[in-house]
Amino acid sequence: MPGKLPPLNALRSFEAAARHCSFKNAAIELCVSHSAISHQVKLLEEHLGVELFTRKARAVELTSAGQAYYPALREAFDQILEATNRILAPNSPSVITVQIYSTLAIRWLIPRLAEFKSVYPDIQVRLNTSQSDVDFDHDDVDACIRIGRSSSGGLHHGFLFSTEIFPVASPQLLAEQPGVTALKDLEKHTLLQVYPSHKDWDLWLEAKELDHIDPNAGLQFDSYDHALATAAQGLGVALAMQPYVGRDLTSGALIELFPGERVKHLDDWYFVCRKGRENTEKIQSFRNWLVNQIQEERELFS
């Protein structure tokens, strides 16, 4: 092998410090002192002949060299960990950690996980639900399902589906006065806003030339699930998208107010993981199962 590998302790210290963006937190993880992490990182920098961190008063930041080096090291340590687990516990299930928006988890994915388990009994799914997108450099996540492509480099995006947005309300609200028979009738009703996705209402209202209506004037929620559940109680008009409302529309708990007036969402949905990891067995198995589910339930996504 040409050249000489840097000391392992120095590599571990750098990987932990880069993942946490903190020498202090890296020291806590590795059960060593702050000065030990600083010494090991300095040793690695001297070995490589480049600076990996920019030191600031209360924080550290990766230099361009550090940003280039870190993903390769993270990938290498992940592979070592997986190989170790396979040797120590060859019959234990492989664990895949997937981050997903809470509404998609509650309203679509979780009811289908038993089917995944029956097809892939040797893969254990660990779900993280969040309204925020994954930071793959620092979050302990194998993959995520998200709207829109990440601007971060080093990620593999697998297209899942496109979606449309449309207003929905409960039969109870429609039976009350004032009714909703025309687009302009929305002016008379409370709009239920999902503030992390506030641009969605703006997009639909602008497309229908109703941008004088302020969707932020009504009730606001941190997830589509809460807004849709509130709409089902007759407390306002929510914006929906597939596959969030498949069961609600089928059961009649919610009614699409203006069939034929759907607007395509600006962003598509993707299955995302770090580049180079897309062909890992557990990630590939979960992605393939996910794509098959979407294809089999195409009516929910169109």
H, E, C per residue of the chain: CCCCCCCHHHHHHHHHHHHHCCHHHHHHHHCCCHHHHHHHHHHHHHHHCCCCEEECCCCEEECHHHHHHHHHHHHHHHHHHHHHHHHHCCCCCEEEEEEECHHHHHHHHHHHHHHHHHHCCCEEEEEEECCCCCCCCCCCCCEEEEECCCCCCCEEEEEEECCEEEEEECHHHHHCCCCCCCHHHHHHCCEEEEHHHCHHHHHHHHHCCCCCCCHHHCCEECCHHHHHHHHHCCCCEEEEECCCCHHHHHHCCCEECCCCCCEECCCCEEEEEECCCCCCHHHHHHHHHHHHHHHHCHHHHC
pLDDT of residue 1: 42
Backbone φ and ψ for 234, nearest 5 degrees, come out as 80, 20
The pTM for the full model equals 0.75
pLDDT of residue 2: 53
Q: Hey, what domains does the chain have and what are their CATH numbers? A: 8-87 (1.10.10.10), 93-157+268-301 (3.40.190.10), 164-264 (3.40.190.10)
pLDDT of residue 157: 95
List the structure tokens of 248: 């609600």
Write out the chain's pLDDT in tens, 302 residues: 456 889 999 999 999 999 888 999 999 999 999 999 999 999 999 999 999 999 887 788 999 999 889 888 988 888 888 788 778 766 666 889 999 999 999 999 999 999 999 999 989 999 999 888 888 877 889 999 999 988 777 899 999 999 999 999 999 998 887 778 899 999 999 999 999 999 999 999 999 999 999 999 999 999 999 999 999 999 999 999 988 999 999 999 999 999 999 999 999 999 999 888 898 889 999 999 999 999 998 877 76
Tokens 């990440």: give the residue. Answer: 150
Report d(CA 237, CA 232) in Å as an integer.
9
